[in-house]
Structure 1
């Protein structure tokens, strides 16, 4: 009989103090056919004001390409990947960078101002190749966004900002970089804050649903912010921290009262 009462006490105590269920923490629920889902999302980042863009021009005739690179004496890489010419500072392969001004332009050597805000990397590359053809035979243009970063804050293991070298990252990958959500994070209500031309837009994403793969913010844009909201348990534990001892004593008191009733 005593063992029965002890077991009953254990079950009741577990029920009282448990506050999480599998549906609160499991990702991609109801996804038996998940492997058959083809995401319809297609995202290509576009350049924005204050972005830092690297543009490297090369050609078979590297002397012809040199005026179009802000290399400050550094040697230029040849189309085959070798350094051409003799740089005064020995810094071969340094990519010239350009800051997009408030009007969406960069000041490019020889050519002058170019409107690049709102264009993709490929579009800028194609535009430059066309403009360079009158100066260089068969120009090769490499364009990269240098300051693609995202920020993850809230209930994650390692909040912070992360630089993305390949200009492409999903929400799932971003959460992985931040060390995953803590047990206190709301998986069903993740906020993505996206800025576009000075206006912030707010999107809600449910990580527990397979519908996340069709979300318009599944692929993150540069400077996106992910906010992981704390769940009710975390919020309640954060309110009135000075009364923590009183709350703990109250819980213990309830537990002892239940035990007394069971063992009576």
Structure 2
């Protein structure tokens, strides 16, 4: 009989030991220590496969019109989806083809710096006297995978968003997520960067590198219980049910 109980007891101890503790579950546990801390922002750089919307204006709209790819579109054609289809796609060399100006190198520049570069060309090449230039990335998106309630590819309209915003857009982490090691994968200037973020502390919040940018990938790893069970055990409530069932089985057998 003891030989029969031994593996069952070991299994129970393993499952209980794999339970996620309160300290492992709570976000930003030392948040008060970082209150009133200085925030810094860095503007993301334009990368290959970005789709740009570039608007060029002038005091005389007629002379600026030839420099705008979609100057004649109206109504439904001005939707974001249509602009993505007809925007400027940044090629692998980091260049775009614009009307009249032809090839323009924008890869590696921030949108603000790209605006300055295009404006300078318009003036220096005697096309416009006092132009206005606005550059915006249309296809901002991030991918979030693993232990979140709504994984997938999620678009956003801002230049960058916070990691907490991204997790909220994915409907939060699951009970089985390891909050102390969120992986952020980013490609910059042909290099792949990997960051490890501990959500149980607020220390990462002041780091501008941890704001989510275009094409970022967030990976949330499952805890040992979820990984070892092959996903069959999804949360602590289910685990308690299994433990209760095994305990009842042991009592029945012992009688």
Q: How does 1:27-42 map to 2 (within 5 A)?
A: 27-39=27-39, 41-42=40-41
Q: Could you say if the C-alpha distance between residues 255 and 211 of structure 1 is closer, same or farther in structure 2, counting changes exceeding 3 Å?
A: farther
The structure with the largest helix share of the pair is 2
User: 2: CA distance between counterparts of 1:70 and 1:120?
Assistant: 21
User: 1: CA distance between counterparts of 2:253 and 2:208?
Assistant: 55
For structure 1, list consecutive stretches of 5 or more residues without a partner in the other structure.
1-12, 76-88, 242-247
Residue 163 of structure 2 is aligned to residue 171 of structure 1: yes
Q: Could you say if the C-alpha distance between residues 43 and 236 of structure 1 is closer, same or farther in structure 2, counting changes exceeding 3 Å?
A: same
What's the secondary structure of 2:172's corresponding residue?
coil
**Worse-superposed segment, 175-184 or 94-103:** 94-103
Contact 2:184 2:196 in 1 (8 A): yes
Q: Say how many residue pairs are matched.
A: 229
Aligned partner of 2:6 in structure 1 is: none
Higher-Rg structure is 1
What's the secondary structure of 2:44's corresponding residue?
coil
User: 2: CA distance between counterparts of 1:260 and 1:254?
Assistant: 10
Deviations 1:10-47 (A, max 9, x none): xxx9x9599232111100112333323324x4221110
Deviations 1:216-261 (A, max 9, x none): 53212210100000011211221799xxxxxx88874456657999
TM-score (norm 1): 0.75
For structure 2, list consecutive stretches of 5 or more residues without a partner in the other structure.
1-12, 234-240
What's the secondary structure of 2:109's corresponding residue?
coil
What's the secondary structure of 2:135's corresponding residue?
strand
Contact 1:43 1:219 in 2 (8 A): no
Contact 2:65 2:71 in 1 (8 A): no
User: 2: CA distance between counterparts of 1:198 and 1:109?
Assistant: 28
User: 1: CA distance between counterparts of 2:163 and 2:242?
Assistant: 41
TM-superposed CA distance for 1:122, in Å, is 0.6
Q: Could you say if the C-alpha distance between residues 200 and 255 of structure 1 is closer, same or farther in structure 2, counting changes exceeding 3 Å?
A: farther
